[in-house]
């Protein structure tokens, strides 16, 4: 029996940049190897990202976006196209694309323009969760005496 290492693209993990090595071992809900529809994750600035997804042929009402339990799901279903094609090169098949996001990722909204779905995200870590420096010698005087009495 051979075991292969699960390869999960970095673009499926948003807001986990510092923990990515550990998270590579976690199985994503996204299907491995499914590239439809193609997407980009664009870093706008520190902690601000856009997911750009090529959804040519889909209208606003054909797309649905939801966040549940740390998973961003994008659904597409183009059921209204009843035209007859002599050749159909633009795929508009039904899809579901999932991205695992950290608890601190906030979705600011989405836009559809020129066949590209853009989802705006930002990492918003609460002050109490942000790293802070601990000064040596910053313990109160009563705590210092406990260590010296032995």
Output the pLDDT for position 128: 81
State whether the Cα torsion 38-44-46-49 is positive or negative.
negative
Output the pLDDT for position 15: 60
H/E stretch holding 150: none
pLDDT in tens, 28-74: 434 445 688 999 999 999 889 999 999 988 999 999 999 998 899 99
Unique residue bearing structure tokens 């059921």: 79
For residue 23, is pLDDT > 90? no
**8 A C-beta contact, residue 100 and residue 28:** yes
Q: Which residue has the higher pLDDT, 2 or 76?
A: 76
CB-based contacts of 84-87 (< 8 A; 24+ apart in sequence): none
All structural domains of the chain, each given as residue ranges with its CATH number in brackets, are 10-82+89-126 (2.60.40.790)
Q: Which residue has the higher pLDDT, 141 or 97?
A: 97
Q: Which residue has the higher pLDDT, 109 or 78?
A: 109
């Amino acid at each position: 029996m051979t075991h292969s290492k699960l390869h999960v693209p970095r673009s499926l993990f948003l807001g986990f940049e510092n923990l990515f090595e550990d998270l590579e071992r976690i199985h994503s809900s996204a299907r491995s190897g499914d590239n439809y529809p193609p997407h980009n994750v664009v870093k706008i600035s520190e902690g601000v990202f856009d997911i750009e997804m090529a959804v040519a042929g889909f209208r606003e009402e054909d797309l649905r976006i939801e966040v549940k339990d740390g998973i961003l799901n994008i659904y597409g279903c183009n059921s209204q196209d009843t035209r007859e094609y002599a050749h159909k090169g633009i795929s508009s098949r039904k899809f579901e694309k999932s991205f695992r996001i950290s608890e601190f990722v906030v979705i600011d909204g989405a836009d559809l323009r020129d066949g590209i779905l853009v989802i705006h995200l930002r990492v918003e870590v609460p002050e109490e969760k942000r790293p802070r420096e601990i000064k040596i010698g910053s313990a109160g005087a009563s705590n210092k005496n406990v260590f010296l009495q032995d």
